[in-house]
Chain A
Amino acid sequence: MNQENLLVGLAGVLAAAAPIIFAVLGETFSERAGVINLSMNGTILLSAMGGFAVAYNTDNIVLGFLAGMLIGALVALVVAFASITLKQSQVAVGFVLALTCRDLSYFLGNPYMGQAGPRLQSLPIPFLSDLPIVGPLLFKQDFITYVSFIAIILAWVWIYRTRPGLMLQGIGEKPAAAFIRGANVNLMRYVYTMIGGALIGLAGPAYSLAIRAGWMGTISGLDGIGWIALSITIFGGWNPSRAAFGAYLFAFLQWLGLVLQGVFTQVPSQVLQVAPFPLMILTLLLVNIGNAEWVERTLAAMPENARKIFAKALRAMRASPPAALGVPFDTD
C-alpha cells in the first residue's frame, strides 16, 4: 500500500467514525446527567430512515439532518418521561425502544428501499486541503465530518470548562448537592437527555445521507452500531475526548479488517468484520476490572513497589460511571 492510498484510507476512517462520534457524544451527555439512553440502536436506524425519507421527499439535505435530530430527541423524550416522571426502569424502556424503533424503521422505510436520494458531497476547504498529509486527511471531508470534529471539542469544553457543564457533572454525580445549589435536577435531566438524543439522531442521517447514502432496510448494515456506540461510551469513561478516541479506534479496526481481508483470504470476510467486538469486550474488561473487589484485594497483598505500578496502570485505564447513573431523583 503506497502513501496516497494509506492517506485516503485513513481519511475514510475519520469520515466513517463521524456518526459514531455523534452517537457517543449524545450518550455521554445523557449519561452524564444520569439517564441511560439504551434506545440508541433503534434511534440511529429510525433517524437514518426518517432523515433519508425527508431529504428524499423535500430534496433538501439539511431538512433530512434536522428530521433525524428531531426523531432522536423525541425518542429520548420517551426515555426521559418514562424514567424521570414515571420512575420506570431506564434499561427496560430503552431496550424496548431500541427494538421497536428498529422494526419501525424497517416497516416505514419499506417504500424507500434502494431509492437513489440526495447525498452530501465532499467539501474541500480552500488552502488547508492543499497542505501535505493533513490536507487530504482532515480538510477534504464532507460537511458533517467537519461538524463531528467541532462537536468533540465543543462537548469537551462544555463539560469541563463551563459553569453549566460543571452543573451537569454534579447532576450525574451528586444530584442532591446540585439540587441544594439551585439546580432543577429533573428538568436538566430532561434537557440533557433530549440534547443527547438529538445528537444520537444526527448519527442516522450521517449514514443515510453521507457515508452509506440511501436506505436499504435490514441490509443497511446499521443494525448493531448503536450497541457498539454504547460500549464505546463506557470505554470513553464519559469523557468526550476519550470517547472520540474510542470511536476512531473502532472505525480504524473495521477498516483494518477490510484491508486484511485481502491478505488473509482463507478467513471468511464476515469474521474479520466482527473482529472489533471481541476487542471491545476486552477493552471493557480492562476499563472495568479496576472496579472489581478481588482486584483491590490482590493489589493490597502485593509487595509495595509492584503494587504502585499495577495500581497506576489500572487507574489509567479505569473509568467509573457517574455515581447517580440510572438512579431516579426525588426532591424529598
Chain B
Amino acid sequence: MLKGRLGAVLFQLIALVLALGFVSLILISAGASPMEAFKNMFTGSFGSMRKFAEVLVTFVPLLLVTAGLLITFSAGLWNIGVEGQIVLGAITTAGVLRVFVDSTLPPALIITLAILGGMIGGALWASLAGLLKTFGGVNEIFGGLGLNFVSTALTLYLIFGPWKRDGVASMSGTEPFPDHFSLPQVPELRISLWALGIAVVGIVFVYFILQGTYFGLKLKAVGKNFRAAYLLGIPTWQYSMYSFLICGALAGAAGAMQVTAVYHRLIPSISSGYGYLGLMVAMLINYQAIWAVPVALFFAALNIGSIQLPIVMKLDSSLAGVLQGVLVLFVLLMEGARQKFVKKA
C-alpha cells in the first residue's frame, strides 16, 4: 500500500506535520505561542478582502516566476539567476515607460510595449546565464548568482544615477510614473485583474508546453539525460537556451508586473526575493505545473500573513521564510525516505 500514490501522499503529510512541529519548537524557543502565531498569519492573509488582495499581489509575480522555472527545471537547469531576470524585466519595463512619458500614444499601447519590453529584458538577461554555461563552461548556478548581484548593482546605479529623482536620490526609488501608466486596479484594492490574468496565462502556457507539445517532450528529454538526447539528434544546447529564454521572459513579465501593477516605479528591492521563493515552490511541487497555483498561493499567503507578526506579537516576519524553507526541506527528506523505503520493500 505504501508503494503507490497513497504512500507518497502519506509521506508528504508526515513531512507537513514534522515541518509544523519543527517551526512550533522554534516559536516556543523564541517565547511565543505557536497557535497564536499561526492564527495571526492566517487572519493576516485571509482575514479581510483587502488582505487577500495583498496575497494576490504577491501571488502574481510568484506564479509567473514558478511557471518559468518549471521550464528550466524540465531542461535540467538550476536557474538561480531568475532573481536577476525579474530585476532586468523591471528595469526594461521602467525604461520603456520613461521613453514614452511625454508621448501622446494611448496608455494601453504604452503599457503593452513596456510589459513586452520587460519580457525581452528578462529573456536577454537569462540568455547571458545560458551563454556563460554553453560557451564559457560556467555552471548556471554560479553564473546566475553573479548576474543577480550585477542586476542589483544596476538597479542601484539607475536609481542613484541617471534615473535619479528630482532633487534627492533615495532608497525609496525613482520618481513614480503617472497614474495612466498603471494596470487598472480593482477599486479600493491594490490588485489588478489584468496582472492576475497575465499570471494565469503564464502558467497555462507552461502547462500546455510541458504536457501537450513535442517541444516540451524534447525539453524533458534534454533534462533527463543530456547525452542520450544529444545522441537522439535533439539539438541539446539550443534547447537549453530556449528554456533560459522562456524562463527569462516569464521572470521579466513578473518584473514588469512589479513596476506596472505594484510599485509604479523602480525600487532597489524590486524583485522582493520572488525568484528564490519561486525555486522553493517549484521544488515543493516536485516540478509539476498542475500544483503551481495552490502552492504559490499558499506561499504568498504566508508572506503576507507574516507581516502581522512584528505588529501583533513582536516577532520577526522572517518566520514565513523559515516555515516555507522547513516545509520544502522536510518534503525533500521524506521523499528520500520514501524512495529508500520503497526500494527495500
Report A's interface with B, CB cutoff 8 A.
Answer: 38, 78, 81-82, 85-89, 91-93, 95-97, 99-100, 102-104, 106-110, 217, 224, 227, 230-231, 234, 267-268, 270-271, 274-275, 277-278, 280-281, 284-285, 288-292, 294
Contacts and interface: CB of A to CB of B under 8 A. Distances in A.
Given A288-B136, A289-B136, 15 more contacts: A82-B332, A82-B333, A85-B340, A88-B333, A88-B336, A93-B332, A96-B280, A96-B332, A104-B325, A107-B316, A108-B29, A268-B156, A270-B153, A275-B153, A277-B150
Given A107-B319, A270-B160, A271-B157, A284 B146 contact: yes
A96 B328 contact: yes
19 contacts: A87-B339, A96-B283, A96-B328, A96-B329, A100-B325, A103-B325, A104-B325, A107-B26, A107-B316, A110-B30, A268-B160, A270-B153, A270-B156, A274-B156, A278-B153, A280-B146, A284-B138, A284-B146, A292-B136
B332 A99 contact: no
Contacts of A290: 137
B161 interface: yes
Given A91-B78, A268-B160, A289-B136, A281 B150 contact: yes
Nearest to B78: A91
Contacts of A96: 280, 283, 325, 328-329, 332
B325 A292 contact: no
Contacts of A95: 78, 80, 279
Interface of B: 26, 29-30, 78, 80, 132, 135-139, 141-143, 145-147, 149-150, 152-153, 156-157, 160-161, 169, 276, 279-280, 283, 315-316, 318-322, 324-326, 328-329, 332-333, 335-337, 339-340
Contact of B315 (A87, A99, A110, A274): A110
> What DSSP secondary structure best describes chain B's contact surface?
helix
B142 A87 contact: no
Interchain residue pairs A-B with the least CB separation, the first 9: A86-B336, A100-B325, A103-B321, A268-B160, A277-B149, A288-B137, A281-B146, A274-B153, A106-B318
Contact of A86 (B78, B135, B318, B333): B333
A7 B321 CA distance: 43
A284 B132 CA distance: 10
A262 B254 CA distance: 37
Contacts of B339: 86-87
Contacts of A284: 136, 138, 142-143, 146
A38 B333 CA distance: 16
